[in-house]
Structure 1
Amino acid sequence: MSKTETAATGLSTQYASQVAADLENNLKEQERISGDLAALQEQLATLQQEHAVLVSIQQALGATSAPEKSTARRATKAVPTPRKKATASPSQGKRTQAKKSAAPSRKPAAKKSVANKAADKTAASPAARRTLIEIVREHLSAQKEPRSAAEITTALGQQHPERDIKNTVVRTTLEGLVAKNQAQRSKQGSSVFYTAPEAAKASTAGKDSQEQPA
């Protein structure tokens, strides 16, 4: 036999022995995994039986439905670890106590401000209930001389600062009083003046007495 044939025979023998060893190891690994799989299947069957028993007990106790296995697993995985509450430092505790102690003192002030606003509204309510016609008529009655709409607007704005009195509104009000014979209108050049009927009569009587011969 030549050296080449001897070397080829030796390599074949080595490969054959290696393959035989690999096959033996493979079979042993299959047997081990098969054993583990059988044990796992037994555990799974036991768990399934326990699950069925627990579901029947839960239904007997009045529960609506039993949770699914997959849902229970997801819920178990999704539950976060509880966080520890941060312990408040002494300075933070003092600030909290200071805020709590200061809080009651603010309430009386708030009530006082509300009471002041209500008092202001009550004090201003009689004037607010009066109409602009009444105010203008009363102002004209107190005047002894004719007044223009601008003069009346300025005077009423000073007497009633709580009202937004405008010249155009006052002029319209005066014209309305003239139409009702509750005021009289006179012209001096291009200016228009208004007086109360009583003041107009008194002014006319004075002029007549001055015109009569002595």
Structure 2
Amino acid sequence: MSDSNTLKSQYSAQVEADIERNAKEQERVAAELAALQEQLQTLDHDRTLLVGMREALSGQGTAAAEEAPASPTTAPPVELPKARRPKGEGAAPKQRAKKAAGKKDTAKKAPTVAQPRTPGTPTLREIVLNLITTSTEPRSAAEVTKTLAETHPERKAGGTVVRNTLESLVARGQAERTKQNKSVFYTALPDPATAEDAADKKDASANA
């Protein structure tokens, strides 16, 4: 019994010593882990600042992957900056051709506007009024546009511009609009001052 109690006491003492040693080892590892964790957070913070500086210097936006929070135990991999590709280089040939075709179509569909006149030359309204005044019959907007292109090639004006000019003459009382079937024709009206002078001359002749 005495030997048994002695052996039991020895085992108990050994277990107590192991437990104490294990507790101290846990404290040491926990302290090292806390220090490493703090160091990891510091490195991660520094890395975030460096990445921001890199993006600011390269003129690129911050990538989403760079903003992802780092793992508490593993530092995220450093992503090397990508070489900047010239604008449009990455587009497929078909896409570039499609864009070019779209630009051409847009240019073709752009409405023709009246070219600015040179100082000292008659206005577009004056030219159009003269064309319908010298005509012996009513003229449509298309006919006036064609005649304008033949007689004044330097004044490039499309059908819409010419039609708007004719309508402005109608609004000013210098032209008259008539409709035949589905077509619209324009005829110049005599100038009120000219008509009054002609009437005065006619009355003078009659009185004489």
Which TM class, normalised by the smaller chain length? 0.3 to 0.5
- Give the TM-score normalised by structure 2: 0.34
* Structure with higher helix content: 1
- Give the TM-score normalised by structure 1: 0.33
